[in-house]
Structure 1
C-alpha cells in the first residue's frame, strides 16, 4: 500500500489532470433532493444507470415524498421500478425506508452517515453519495470505479467497497476529500479502465503499485 506522502502526491497529480467537481454536479443519480437521492441509490443496486434512470423517473412521476410513496400500493411501486430489476425486494425496501424516515426522523433525511445508514436500504455507498452530492459534505463516495482504482494503484488495500471507503477516509488528506470522488471516478473512466488501463500514458504510473508489478 502506498505511503501517506505518496497518497497525497497521487491526489495532487489527479487534481491537475482531472476536471474534478463541476458546477451544478448532481451526482450519479441526478436527483434534486435527499429523499429522491436515497430512493434512486436504492434502485441502482445491480442495475445499469440507464435502467435506474427509467425506474426513478417512473416512480417519481407517482410520488416525490415519503408520505406520497406510502399511499401507493406495492403493485404500483413494483410496476414503476421494474426496469431496474429486483423490483419486489426494492419495493419492500422503499416502503420500510419511508416508514422509518417518517417514524424516526419526521420525514427529513438525516445529514450524517450514521443517521443515513440507520435507514433501511441505505448502506455506506448510498449514504456517502447523499452526503457528498446533496449535503455538500467532504466525503469520497466509493463506487465500482473508485474501488477498482484505489486497490489497483495502492491507495487502499481492501476487498469491499465499504472497507475501501473507510481506508480512504483514514488515509486521504483533508483537502482532497471535497473533490476526491470526482478525480478518482474520472480517472477510472478515462485512464485506469477495468479491462485495458492506459498505463503508458497514465500520469500516476510512477506511483502505481500495479504498474510497478507489471513493468
Structure 2
C-alpha cells in the first residue's frame, strides 16, 4: 500500500501540473452574496454551472435573500428552477435551508461545517463549497469530477465522497486544498470527462490509472 507521504508527493506533482494547465481555475457559478452561492450550489447538483447561471440570473434579479425563499410557495420555486432538473427536491432544499437561516441564524449563512450541515437540504459537498468559496476556508468539496479524478489519478480508492475527502485532506497541503478543488473540477469538466476523456490534451497521464487500463 502506498504511504501517505508518497501520495502527498503525488498530489503535489499532479496539482502543480494541473495549475499549469488551468491557471484560471475558479468557481464558475455566478452569485452576489453568500446566500446566493448557497442556492446556486444546491441547484448545481446533476446540472451544469452554465444552466444554473442562466436560471439564477433571472431568479436572483427578483429573489435574492433567504427571507424571499423562506415564504415562497414550493410550486412557484419549482417553476422557476425547473430547467435545472430534480426541481422538486431542490426547491424543498432551498426553502428549508432558507427557513433555517432566517429562523436560526438571523438571515446570515452560517460559517462552520456543523452549522452548515444543520441546515435542512445542505449536505457535506455543499457545506465544503461554502466554506471554501464563500468563507476562504481550506476545504475540499468532492463532487462527481473530484471523485472521478481522485480515483483515476490514484489519489484515493475510497468508494464514497467522504472517504475521498478524507484521503485528499491527508494528502494535500492545507493552503492548497481550496485551489485543488477547483483544479480537479476544471480538469474533469474540460479534459478528463466521465466518458471519452480527451487524454491527448491531458498533462497528468503519467499518473493516470484510466489510461493505463
| Alignment TM-score, normalising by the size of structure 2 | 0.84
Alignment match, 1:13: 17
Q: Counterparts of 1:81 and 1:51 in 2: how far apart (Å)? A: 10
Q: Secondary structure at the match of 1:19?
A: coil
Equivalent runs, 1:168-207 vs 2, <5 Å: 168-199=168-199, 202-207=202-207
| 1:199/1:119 CA distance change after superposition, 3 Å | same
Unaligned runs of 5+ in 2: none
Answering whether residue 133 of structure 2 is matched by residue 129 of structure 1, we say no
Distance verdict in 2 for CA 1:187–1:103, change over 3 Å: same
Distance 1:146 1:77 in 2: 29
Q: Supply the distance in 2 between the matched residues of 1:191 and 1:121 (Cα, whole angstroms).
A: 31
Superposed, 1:58-207 pairs within 5 Å as: 58-199=58-199, 202-207=202-207
Matches of 2:202 and 2:78, distance apart in 1: 44
Q: Which range moved further: 97-106 or 1-10? A: 1-10
List gaps (5 residues or longer) in structure 1. none
- Taking the aligned partners of 1:102 and 1:131, their CA distance within structure 2 comes to 19
Return the offset for 1:20: 4.5
Match of 1:53 in 2: 53
Q: CA RMSD in A?
A: 2.4
The TM-score, its normalising length taken from structure 1, stands at 0.83
